[in-house]
Structures are given as C-alpha cells and as structure tokens.
Amino acid sequence: MSAASVHCYRVEHRTTYRYSEPVTLSHQQLHLTPRQLAYQRSRTHEVTIIPAPTYRRERTDAFGNPVTEIAIESAHRTLEIVGRSNVEVGGRELPEADKTAAWETVREALAYRAGWRPDPLALEATEFLFESPHGRVKRDLRAYASDCFRPGCSVLEAAQALMGKIHTEFKFDAEATTTTTPVMTFFKQKRGVCQDFTHFMISCLRSTGLAARYVSGYLVNRQAPGKQRPVGAEASHAWVALFVPGCGWIELDPTNNVLPSWEHITLGWGRDFSDVTPLRGVINGGGEQTLTVKVTVEADD
C-alpha cells in the first residue's frame, strides 16, 4: 500500500453481558482481530477481557481468520470484552466490470465434471457454492436474480445489477429481524439489516451457480461529499465477496450499493454469519442476560 492511498482508523468493539445470576463457567470464541491483507494492516491490536480469563489461546480458523478462545472459571455477573485496533486500509484493486468473464463462463469454471482439474484458488472457492446454515440454494432465488444475469453479461456487471436491485427493493430496518431470521423470511418481508442483505445476495449468487462468501467487519461512519451517510456503521457490518477466476474475490455491499474500498474494514470471512460471529460461546448459569454492543470507528489520519 502506498502511503498516499492509506486511511488510518481507530476501532473499538465493546461487548458487555450482564447476568441476573452468577455464571460459574464461560467458554467463548472471539472474531475481533482484523485480518492482515494486501490492502489492510493492523498497526496495533488488543482484546481486553474482564474478568480475566483462566485460559486464553490465539489460533487461526479453517478460513484463515484469527480467533481468540477463552475460558473463565471464576463466578461473575458481568462479562466485558473490548477489541481495540489501529488499522490502515487502502483501496481494493478492481477490474473493469465489462472486462470480467461472462457469468456463464464463471459458473462453468466452478462446476464439477469428469476430469476436472481446477487451479487451487478455484478449488477453494467451490466451498462457497453450496448451502450453509444461513445461505440457501433455491429456484426462487435464482429466478429473482435472473433478470440481472442476462445471457453473455459479464459476471461483475451482473453482480452489480443484482446488488442494485436488492438495495432498491429491500429496506434497512434494525427492528425487522434477528440473527436467526431465515433468509427466505427476509425475502418475503423485504426488511432487515446488513446481515440479511448479505445472506440474501449470497444465496442468490449461489443459486445462480457462483461462489460467494460472507465478509464480516466494520464500516466507517463518514459521509463522503455528495453521497448519503453509509448504513450499518454503528455496529458490526457485513458484505459479500464474489469469486471471479483471474481476478480473485471481488467485494460488494448490497446494504449500501457500493463496491467496498477504504471505508470497509475486514475482520474475517466464512460461508455465512455463523462462521465469523464476533462472540460465540456457552455458559453455565447466568439466569437472564442482557447484551450491549457498541462499535466506534474513528479516522486517525
């Protein structure tokens, strides 16, 4: 990344659980560490945990994402986990949309057949062709996307058309869904949050025979001149990455109808939300619990 094209940010992701009864044992898995990428670098990063964990381990998951695993074996009524990062982000390299391969060519390149010998990147991408806990492959979704995927249309032009269609026909509504709302329910009610927009677009792309993955991260809450303020900047954000042979993974944000650049900070990726949940775990005890999450992203230029 050249210094002139880099934007620097301070990120704080604060999660607080409060319990009505003591928790005697807590095991948690944290996806709070930004990935190191060609266009992104963490200058500093820390995760603080109160109460202090009895056990803590840093590892890399099956998708290459950094993960922190913790266990707390002392009784507690509050758990606070704060991820803080200073991140440098540059622009993604993007091909000209009309110069990418026809979408049918990309679909055929990823389809299994006798004697198939894909290159390693294409073989890895096939993992993102199929259904997953929050991603569906259905004829109704292929039909919804069909007017965007016209015969001979380049794959990036078609994907951008689908992104624009979803952005226009669906509404952002923080009260309409939860983290467990099925993608077909979102399709029916046409209201939800960035996670729903992302799962829906991924499902449409997979139903069309293309490889698409879920990207988790943060969105800079800064309004560019002449543009609307981005949606989803006050919490964790999510967007789509589409595999295009010869170009790699190209990112699309259907919630905001943009191709992510310096304003999108990447934590990690997986098949869907369940693979990169910021916090996920089990507890012993606790009674009723309340959860508070606050995300702050500030420019540090």
Distance CA 132, CA 260 (A): 24
Instruction: For the chain, give every residue range classified as CATH 3.10.620.30.
Output: 97-260
Mean pLDDT of 9-16: 96
What angle, rounded to 10 degrees, do the helices at 155-169 and 194-207 form? 140
Count Cβ atoms below 10 Å from residue 287 Cβ, excluding itself. 10
Architecture per CATH, domain 3-90+277-299, reads as Sandwich (2.60)
Q: What is the DSSP letter of 65?
A: -
Say if CB 17 and CB 79 are below 8 A apart. yes
Dihedral over alpha carbons 266, 270, 272, 278 (to 10 degrees): -50
Q: Which CATH number does the domain 97-260 belong to among 3.30.10.20, 3.40.50.1970, 3.10.620.30, 1.10.10.10?
A: 3.10.620.30
Residue 228: the pLDDT is 55
Residue 166: the pLDDT is 98
pLDDT tens per residue across span 211-248: 999 999 999 976 554 555 555 455 799 999 999 999 99
Residue 2: the pLDDT is 53
pLDDT tens per residue across span 17-32: 999 999 999 999 999 9
Distance CA 280, CA 30 (A): 7
Distance CA 8, CA 206 (A): 34
Mean pLDDT of 117-138: 94
Given a cut of 70, is residue 281 above it in pLDDT? yes
pTM for this entry: 0.93
Residue 231: the pLDDT is 59
Instruction: For the chain, give every residue range classified as CATH 2.60.40.2250.
Output: 3-90+277-299
Given a cut of 90, is residue 113 above it in pLDDT? no
Identify which of 249, 247, 207 has the alpha carbon closest to the alpha carbon of residue 101: 247
